[in-house]
Amino acid sequence: MRPLFRPLNFVTAERSEAIEYETKGGSNLSAYCAEFTMEQFLELATNFHFLFYLMTNHLVQFTELEMQMLCNAVCTQDREAAIEWARETVNWQQLVALCHEQGHSHESSVSTRWSCKHCTFENSEQRPDCSMCGLPANA
């Protein structure tokens, strides 16, 4: 007998890292979902940490019935039911859209940061020199 839940690349939520996890949740979910096609939604959902995130995220609240339907599809390994859940559940579609948006805004804010090679100060804006030591960024 093989296990129903397989460990995949979805980041797990440690209690000590709960705050950090919540801020990474959107971009993490977006990256995780990008690894699967719609035909592989059952494999995507066959992950305890993914299901736990759906139940506890603060972006979109799933109903008990929605979660029961998805969990039943996972437990019975019913690919068609899992795909139908993904296509028909408005809350899932909303969460994916929000996380995709959140992931893009996180990427753009991260890309503007750079560390000075001289004093290691982390600069938050694009400029030719370090705002702390004044030395050139590319020297």
Read off the pLDDT of residues 7-22 as tens digits, 9 standing for 90 and up.
555 555 544 333 334 4
Distance CA 5, CA 75 (A): 9
Structure-block tokens of residue 14? 């440690």
Q: What is the pLDDT of residue 8?
A: 53
Cβ–Cβ < 8 Å for 83, 39: yes
Amino acid at 81: A
Cβ–Cβ < 8 Å for 85, 92: yes
Maximum CA extent, the chain: 63
Digit-coded pLDDT (tens) for 109-139: 455 777 888 777 777 777 788 777 778 888 6
> Judging by beta carbons within 10 Å of its beta carbon (0-12, 13-18, 19+), is residue 46 exposed, middle or buried?
buried
Which of the four pLDDT bands, split at 50, 70 and 90, describes residue 26?
low
pTM higher than the cut 0.75: no
For the chain, the average pLDDT equals 79
Backbone dihedral angles phi then psi of residue 79, each to the nearest 5 degrees:
-60, -45
Distance CA 121, CA 1 (A): 54
